[in-house]
Chains A and B, each alone.
Chain A
Amino acid sequence: MNTDKAAGKVLIVIPAYNEGKTLEGLTAEIRRLFPLLDILVVDDGSRRPQRISGGAKLIRHPFNLGDGAARQSGFLYALRHGYDFVIHLDADGQHLPAEIPSVLQPLQDGQADVVVGSRFLGRCNYKVPFLRRVGMRLFSLVCSLVVRRRITDPTNGFRGLNRRALELYTRGFYPQHYPDADVIISSHFRGLAIREVPVTVDPSASESLHRGMRIFYYIYKMFLSTFVAILGRQDQGRPGKCPSSNS
């Protein structure tokens, strides 16, 4: 990735809710690696205001809206300030900033509108607990069947979007909570080209949202929104073109 070329065009969006010192370290690390890229932290109503470093920009929700809404605020910011590409990654440090170029490259080359990081492509060092693995496989299967291409990690929060995707994602269909497999399916039906690239996920840093009863809500929500996305596909334009997979 040529970061000189990307200066002023790429925004790194990091949604954050009650994050500790990892967020400060993450913004500093991105700034050290890519000094010309702009960073935006979206504080989603944390109890104590988030501390950031490395000259990152900060927007703050007055109360907690949800991970999807926090990302969407970042997309709105990007559109209003004329950015061409957005890369979003999680604030807990599970994604490696050094891999930003591999998510950005297919967008800059015009090979995809949406790039989804996958921990299961390429070198996979990620051990998933059994039940979570079953759930992930299930959503991966549903997503792959609907999109008609292999989607291995629909729950990964390390993604890249171009302007076309940003415009669609800020028009209301982007979910307020858990924007995962349903976003990939809706994107496909809205004619966006989706591509997966291998990324590394640090499981020790990952804080799963799917603890306790929330896993049941997540499963219900994902099936319902996927079903609704499939039902509404006629209204959403032709199916997306599928660039060749690198898997």
Chain B
Amino acid sequence: MPVKQQLIAILLAAGLLIFIIDAVRRRKLREEYAWLWILVGVVIVVLSLWRDLLGTITALMGIQLPANTVFFFGLVFIVFINLHFSIRISRLTDRVKRLTQDLALLEEESRRDRAEPGS
């Protein structure tokens, strides 16, 4: 990996890590979701500093170009993280539904109590 590319990758990873930590600090990103993105930043830094690692993985997997190894793992990561978020969204949707139903029932009860005080 040429030094120029190495520098760009390290700067990108550093920018990503700073952005994530700042988002956690400002309570815009929860810790439970931040770790995945911190892992991405760390992996980019490791691959940039440890020059032979990407080449070794590429050879082990029988892939011809190191760039394709990066694309492959990038795509796998994106698929899994999207699946993970779809599951999270489904769970949140169920919770919002049940909360909304409870709210509607409580609102009816309080409306009835106001109409018939003491009942």
Contacts and interface: CB of A to CB of B under 8 A. Distances in A.
Nearest to A72: B101
Contact of B105 (A65, A69, A80, A172): A80
Interface in A207-245: none
Interface in B86-119: 93-94, 97, 100-105, 107-108
Nearest to A66: B97
Tell me the interface secondary structure of chain B in the complex.
Answer: helix
Contacts of B101: 61, 65, 69, 72-73, 76
A77 B102 CA distance: 9
Contacts of A176: 93, 97
A69 B101 CA distance: 8
A59 B100 contact: no
B108 to A, nearest CB: 4
Nearest to A69: B97
A77 B105 contact: yes
Interface in A22-66: 42, 57-63, 65
10 contacts: A59-B105, A59-B108, A60-B108, A61-B100, A65-B101, A72-B101, A76-B101, A76-B102, A76-B105, A176-B97
